[in-house]
C-alpha cells in the first residue's frame, strides 16, 4: 500500500460539513504492564534514567533507545567553565536496545568511561536536566549523518567565554557520535548550537534559560526540521517553535502554544514531543501544575499548520501518573511514538516522586495505542453519518481506520459540482437537503466494511473511485455499531 496523499483524523471539524447521530470519543493509551521497561541499574545512572528517544531500526530488526543518564560524581566530568550551578550531578546520553521493545540491554560502547569503567553512554558531560532528540534519516545522501542527535549542552571556548545552548551530533551507526566545538573565529559550518544571544561573557538562547527542552522532528511537507522548544509568555512555561533547513541553523523561537484562563492557576506546558499524523502535527505535551499537585502528566495538542494548536479531548489528561507507590506516581512524560506491528509504541519517562521532591527515582515505561486513535466518531445500533466538505477528487483509493465487529461502515460519493450554474450552498443538516449518491457510488453500491481494520479499502460493486478523477465530490460516511478513527486517500 502506498503512502496516502492525504489522511484526516477527527481532531477538528474543518473537513466535516454535517454530522448526524454520531458521538465523539477521546481514547487513551494502554500501559504495557505495571512495571517499567528500563530502570537505573548502572553506577553512572544513579537514581534516574530520564526522557528518551526511541526508534525502530528495520535494518537491525530492533528498537533503539537513547535516554538521559544522571550520574552524581560531578568530579568525573571535565570542567566546562560554566559558573557553578550548585547541582552535584551531570548528565549524559545512554544507549539501550531491544528486539521485542520490552526487554532492553545496555551494550558497552567503548566511548565514555565512568571511574575507569566502560559504559553504555554515547555522549557525556552536559549538565542541564533536559531531554534530547535522536532522529534516523535512512535516505540521507551523507551516510555520516544517518543519525542526528540534539542535546542541551555546555561547552567552553578557551580564553573566551562559556556557552550554553543546543548541541548537534551526527553518527553513521548511532554509536559513534561526532560533535563540534564552538569557535567564534573559524565559525565552522555546521555550528553546533541554536540561536543564542550574548549577555556579558555568556550566551543564552532566546526566550528561555538553561533548562531548555527540545522536541525536534523532520516535517516532510515543509522539508524542514522543526523544534518545539520551551518558551515563556512572561508568566509560565509555554511551547515555542523554531525551524531549520539542516538541523543546524535555526530561526528565532516563536510562541505557538500556551495555557489559558481555563487552566488551573500557574498551569504550565513543561515540554513537548512532536510528530506528524496525516494532516496534523501532534504534540505530546507534558503539563505541570505547581499550585495543585506538583505532578507532571500528558495532554495532546494538534495543529494543521504547526503554529495554531487545539487541545484534543477538551483538555483531558491523555497519560496520567500511576497509582501511589508506582514507578510513575509523581511524574510522567511521553516520547514521540514508534509505529511497529500495527500499533504505536509510546515510551514514557516517569518518577515515583513529584516535581517538588528533593530527590526523584526515574524509570521508563511503555504504553500502546491504536494508530490515529485519538478521537473516534461512534455510532450505536441507530445509524449515524457525516459528510465531508467539497473536494476535487484526484485519487484512486479511499481507506478507513475503523472498528465494527458487530456493525458496518459504508460510504457514498455525492456530486459536488455546480447546480444550475451556481455552487450548491453548504448546509449543516442531513437527509433530503443532500442529493443522492452518484450512480455506482451510492451507499447501496458500497461493499459494507466490517471487523477491525487500520487501513481497509472502500470498494463499490459497479464502479471504481479512480473514475471520478477531476470531479468535485463530497463523501458521506454511514456507521452502524461502529467507530471511525480516520480516513485516507491515495
Q: How far apart are the first and last CA of the chain?
A: 9
Q: Please say if the pLDDT value at position 199 is more than 50.
A: no
pLDDT more than 70, % of the chain: 81
Domains and CATH numbers, the chain: 6-26+375-489 (2.60.120), 30-369 (2.115.10.20)
Arithmetic mean of pLDDT over the chain: 84
Judge contact between 367 and 464, C-beta under 8 A. Answer: no
pLDDT of residue 247: 82
Q: Please say if the pLDDT value at position 157 is more than 60.
A: no
pLDDT of residue 89: 52
DSSP assignments along 147-214, one per residue: EEEEEEEEEEETTTEEEEEEEEEEESSSSS-EE----TTT--SS--S-SEEEETTEEEETT--TT--E
pLDDT of residue 196: 46
pLDDT of residue 360: 84
Give the pLDDT confidence of 302-318 residue by residue, as tens digits: 999 999 999 999 999 99
- Confidence tier at 105 by pLDDT (50, 70, 90): very high
- In the three-class reduction of DSSP (H, G, I as helix; E, B as strand; rest coil), residue 465 is classed as helix
pLDDT of residue 318: 98
pLDDT of residue 1: 58
Estimate to the nearest angstrom the gap between the alpha carbon of 453 and the chain centroid: 23
More confidently predicted of 418 and 237: 237
Contacts of 155 (CB under 8 A, 6+ apart): 80, 162, 163, 165, 167, 181, 182, 192, 193
Average pLDDT over residues 172-179: 84
Average pLDDT over residues 276-298: 95
What is the rounded radius of gyration, in angstroms, for the C-alpha atoms of the chain?
A: 25
Average pLDDT over residues 90-98: 88
pLDDT of residue 100: 97
Among 87, 127, 132, 311, which Cα is nearest to 229's?
132
Dist. CA 89–CA 69, nearest whole Å: 10
Average pLDDT over residues 91-106: 94
Give the pLDDT confidence of 377-396 residue by residue, as tens digits: 999 999 999 999 999 999 99
Amino acid at each position: 500500500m502506498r503512502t496516502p496523499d492525504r489522511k484526516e483524523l477527527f481532531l477538528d471539524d474543518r473537513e466535516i460539513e454535517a454530522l448526524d447521530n454520531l458521538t465523539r470519543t477521546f481514547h487513551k493509551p494502554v500501559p504495557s504492564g505495571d512495571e517499567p521497561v528500563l530502570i537505573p541499574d548502572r553506577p553512572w545512572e544513579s537514581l534516574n534514567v530520564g526522557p528518551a528517544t526511541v526508534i525502530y531500526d528495520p535494518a537491525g530488526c530492533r528498537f533503539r533507545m537513547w535516554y538521559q543518564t544522571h550520574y552524581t560524581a560531578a568530579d568525573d566530568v571535565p570542567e566546562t567553565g560554566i559558573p557553578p550551578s550548585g547541582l552535584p550531578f551531570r548528565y549524559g546520553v545512554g544507549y539501550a536496545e531491544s528486539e521485542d521493545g520490552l526487554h532492553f540491554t545496555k551494550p558497552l560502547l567503548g566511548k565514555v568511561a565512568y571511574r575507569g569503567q566502560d559504559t553504555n553512554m554515547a555522549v557525556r558531560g552536559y549538565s542541564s536536566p533536559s531531554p534530547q532528540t535522536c532522529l534516523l534519516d535512512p535516505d540521507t545522501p551523507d551516510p555520516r549523518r544517518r543519525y542526528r542527535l540534539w542535546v542541551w549542552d555546555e561547552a567552553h571556548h578557551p580564553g573566551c567565554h562559556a556557552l550554553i545552548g543546543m548541541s548537534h551530533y551526527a553518527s553513521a551507526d548511532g554509536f559513534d557520535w561526532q560533535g563540534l566545538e564552538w569557535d567564534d573565529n573559524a565559525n565552522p559550518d555546521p555550528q553546533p548550537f541554536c540561536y543564542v544571544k550574548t549577555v556579558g561573557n555568556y550566551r543564552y538562547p532566546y526566550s528561555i534559560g538553561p533548562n531548555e527542552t527540545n522536541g525536534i522532528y523532520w516535517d516532510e511537507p515543509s522539508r524542514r526540521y522543526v523544534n518545539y522548544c520551551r518558551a515563556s509568555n512572561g508568566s509560565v512555561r509555554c511551547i515555542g517553535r523554531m525551524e531549520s533547513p539542516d538541523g543546524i541553523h535555526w530561526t528565532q523561537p516563536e510562541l505557538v502554544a500556551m495555557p489559558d484562563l481555563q487552566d488551573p492557576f500557574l498551569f504550565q506546558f513543561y515540554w513537548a514531543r512532536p510528530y506528524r499524523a496525516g494532516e496534523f502535527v501532534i504534540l505530546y505535551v507534558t503539563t505541570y501544575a505547581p499550585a495543585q499537585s506538583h505532578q507532571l502528566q500528558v495532554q495532546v495538542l494538534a495543529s494543521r499548520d504547526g503554529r495554531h494548536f487545539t487541545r484534543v479531548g477538551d483538555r483531558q489528561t491523555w497519560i496520567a501518573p500511576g497509582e501511589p507507590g508506582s514507578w510513575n506516581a509523581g511524574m510522567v512524560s511521553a516520547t514521540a511514538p514508534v509505529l511497529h506491528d500495527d500499533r504505536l509504541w509510546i515510551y514514557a519517562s516517569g518518577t515515583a516522586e513529584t516535581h517538588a521532591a528533593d530527590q526523584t527515582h526515574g524509570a521508563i515505561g511503555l504504553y500502546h495505542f491504536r494508530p490515529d486513535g485519538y478521537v473516534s466518531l461512534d455510532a450505536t445500533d441507530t445509524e449515524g453519518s457525516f459528510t465531508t466538505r467539497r473536494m476535487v477528487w484526484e485519487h484512486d483509493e479511499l481507506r478507513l481506520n475503523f472498528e465494527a465487529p458487530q456493525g458496518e461502515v459504508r460510504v457514498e460519493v455525492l456530486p459536488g459540482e455546480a447546480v444550475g450554474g451556481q455552487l450548491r450552498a453548504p448546509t449543516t443538516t442531513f437527509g433530503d437537503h443532500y442529493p443522492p449518491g452518484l450512480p455506482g457510488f451510492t451507499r447501496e453500491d458500497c461493499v459494507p466494511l466490517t471487523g477491525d481494520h487500520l487501513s481497509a479499502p472502500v470498494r463499490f460493486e459497479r464502479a471504481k473511485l479512480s473514475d471520478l478523477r477531476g470531479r468535485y465530490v463530497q463523501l458521506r460516511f454511514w456507521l452502524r455499531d461502529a467507530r471511525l478513527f480516520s480516513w485516507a486517500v491515495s
